[in-house]
Structure 1
């Protein structure tokens, strides 16, 4: 099997029949040896510690919405003016958020059994939603300074917890730390589990990757990596370009512009997110990645269209007093649709598709694109709403429609496959 993996990874030919035969044999063998998996205390604890950063991320993203007016009034700020200390803090938060948002799902994906991987990595989104819901609700009853200080707690817990969880077994294997690799894998699987076959498969795949040339930033953009880069970077950008950073950051302003109660709208947003994420966790390894992504894109598009028309009706005094409720319905559909697919499944896909030899570099490029798109949406959203509230949401509906086409045409299905099987199945696409 080692020779088959090596040939599959190193081959640049287009002999489809030979390639498919080798892939079939490898995936068949792997299916035999990876059918059983167990959830151990260390598996749960490691995922929890990793995703405390996700909780902080959600908390930070939603933090500004319930206290936005209070901060601007107390510090005498406007959309055109800012305090340098506030800017410095936001810069530091943005840097740490970008790292956590990419590294945490990757870390969890690398040590989780294939039949549990989707749900475990999706927990990243559950913690995001929990963090943002907490910020929305707590921000209604306490001052903005206290709300900021509370955000320190999960970060402190994560720093302490990092001393008690193992390093990623696959990363240790790539660094040729064999003893540490086996110890980490055994720790995560439990002392009663025989890890010999799983360890052998990971070793053979890592050894084959070691024979490939070292990949730098220039080599990363070769044709053989074009497909995974397109999928990974495309999803990383669309996660934010569909508009969630703007909607969450300016939720209060949106409800106010639509003529709806800010308090009621904020509470509705906070309570809606968690059931939606729970549905995504339940469906992740049952329906597969692609159906959830496409269903989510349809929901996002519908929510934006409804909200856009609500603003049109409000501006033209149509539908009487119903247009604010229509805006709330559209925003709720948007927020409910996001974590089920685009927001959650994208993190799962990007944690699965990159081969180990380019994972760090490719992931860094995707993270850079993701946060540049998040910054663009967050920065431009307020100005866009001043230009045209309805036009803003119609543009976002168009982006969601493009996301649907992108997923349908390009994104692979990774449900039920080991990471090695995923990498092999897409290694010859576009070659």
Structure 2
């Protein structure tokens, strides 16, 4: 015990011992993700099974209204708009995520986000009664808004709640739940379950159940400690949150780092425009934008949107396609779980660059297989199918999860929401473009349809390999210094605002300058931090 006027010194064990991981942190991750990135994966995959039923509903509804049916290209166009409405909603959600996460917090943003799901579910459940296919389009837009918010806020929430030595693994769990959502959506969409003509509205509305689970569970878990301290200035709430997330202990060193960051950062949160104007943040912003765009332009999610067309072109019998499609979701789930185990050992940079290199190779093999298949080599259909699985596995090993982690690791607290807005906008615009153009790419390029995606993967691997430093286990100041080395002008190093924390860091300094130590507030006991 220390006397009220005595300053408490940090022991070597306290400054070096990794933070603990509590059951509360694990349950927080599950609760946030089941109504977060899980929904993104689930809503990508469930739209594939009822493709033919929805197209028939579009044509029949139009014929009832106007007395004449739509031609096949017109039905395809309307269907493409319904699919792409998800991307437009995602873009809207990405733009909402930044202000929402600052105004109401990370946890409350995820809770409010479920309202978009429930309205969308009500629309698809009543669309047949109203004889309106436009209600499906609006529902997909609202579901996209939900995914756009969760894809930005959830990695932010995880990155700010996890201890530094597990930051990557916890944040990467977003990708695991995305893959799990894809896989479960494919299973639920089987014809033996909800993938039938009478039940397809219930299939599309089933996304409300995970949202309901989140509404019932997430309010019991803590808010992001960094948000509570740095954005709201509530030290007491931050300590309580950190205690719960660390299993009853609020590590002194971790608390001190947050306090120093609070002292250094500006009071106001940055806007996307201010990020573009800040020369010191442009390398990080370029990297985040390139990684987010590449994640969608590589074409992986197009496989889930248009899996039926891809496997049909690969020569798979139509009645077997739904079972083959489940394999794609299982492949990404397995790969994301494996990557979650490897990310703190291998590092972010190697997984990201290596994933795009492997995808480039499989694109070439897939193209060769399609060419030979078009020339009558029947066995190439199975090689084509194997290439699709390999492509998805490579995507799940790196780009699927590492991309979402980057803004949380390379931007500070004031810039992070705006960075996620910019990166999320790039991601959803890219997904929209690919979703709109992919059917025409397949029709126009035929066997060469994956060559544009190969070019994206090659360029992404080269660019990210040259510009992205390894962020595993590093503080923000160390990451910023690495960006300066890789991207800054030689011989002229710009001093970043967070560098004083690295240069003048002394254990106990930040704590002793606040009301958290006993010499400034005798009411606090040592147990408040330990």
The answer as to whether partners of 1:355 and 1:423 remain within 8 angstroms in 2 is: no
Aligned residue runs from structure 1 range 71-86, under 5 A: 71-76=54-59, 78-81=75-78, 83-86=133-136
Deviation, 1:73, is 2.4
The answer as to whether partners of 1:59 and 1:135 remain within 8 angstroms in 2 is: yes
Deviation, 1:341, is 0.5
Q: Who is 1:307 aligned against? A: 366
1:48 corresponds to which of 30, 33, 43: 30
Deviation, 1:392, is 1.9
Q: Who is 1:281 aligned against? A: 340
Whole-angstrom CA distance in 1 between matches of 2:142 and 2:481? 38
5+ residue gaps in structure 1? 1-28
Deviation, 1:426, is 3.8
Whole-angstrom CA distance in 1 between matches of 2:50 and 2:408? 34
Q: Deviations over 1:248-276 (max 9, x none)?
A: 11011110122113134213213322221
Matched, 1:328 2:355: no
1:66 corresponds to which of 49, 74, 87: 49
Whole-angstrom CA distance in 1 between matches of 2:425 and 2:16? 34
Deviation, 1:304, is 1.7
Q: Who is 1:18 aligned against? A: none
> Which shifted more, 147-156 or 70-79?
70-79
Aligned residue runs from structure 1 range 9-408, under 5 A: 33-52=15-34, 53-76=36-59, 78-81=75-78, 83-140=133-190, 141=192, 142=194, 143=196, 144-174=200-230, 175-191=232-248, 193-210=249-266, 215-221=270-276, 222-261=278-317, 262-317=321-376, 319=377, 321-408=378-465
The answer as to whether partners of 1:305 and 1:330 remain within 8 angstroms in 2 is: no
The 1:426–1:203 alpha-carbon spacing in structure 2 relative to 1, beyond 3 Å, is farther
Provide TM-score, normalisation by structure 1: 0.87
The 1:72–1:426 alpha-carbon spacing in structure 2 relative to 1, beyond 3 Å, is same
Deviation, 1:395, is 1.1
Q: Deviations over 1:322-352 (max 9, x none)?
A: 1211210110111111111011111122321
Q: Who is 1:10 aligned against? A: none
Deviation, 1:180, is 1.3
Whole-angstrom CA distance in 2 between matches of 1:218 and 1:129? 33
The answer as to whether partners of 1:116 and 1:285 remain within 8 angstroms in 2 is: yes
Deviation, 1:300, is 1.1
Q: RMSD over aligned Cα, in angstroms?
A: 2.1
The 1:216–1:60 alpha-carbon spacing in structure 2 relative to 1, beyond 3 Å, is closer
Q: Deviations over 1:195-214 (max 9, x none)?
A: 23221111111210137x76
Q: What SS does the corresponding residue of 2:49 show, helix, strand or coil?
A: helix
Q: Who is 1:414 aligned against? A: 471
The answer as to whether partners of 1:168 and 1:184 remain within 8 angstroms in 2 is: yes
The 1:297–1:217 alpha-carbon spacing in structure 2 relative to 1, beyond 3 Å, is closer
Deviation, 1:31, is 11
The 1:349–1:393 alpha-carbon spacing in structure 2 relative to 1, beyond 3 Å, is same
The 1:425–1:103 alpha-carbon spacing in structure 2 relative to 1, beyond 3 Å, is same
5+ residue gaps in structure 2? 1-10, 60-73, 80-132, 489-493, 495-530
The answer as to whether partners of 1:255 and 1:328 remain within 8 angstroms in 2 is: yes
The 1:31–1:235 alpha-carbon spacing in structure 2 relative to 1, beyond 3 Å, is farther
Deviation, 1:237, is 0.6
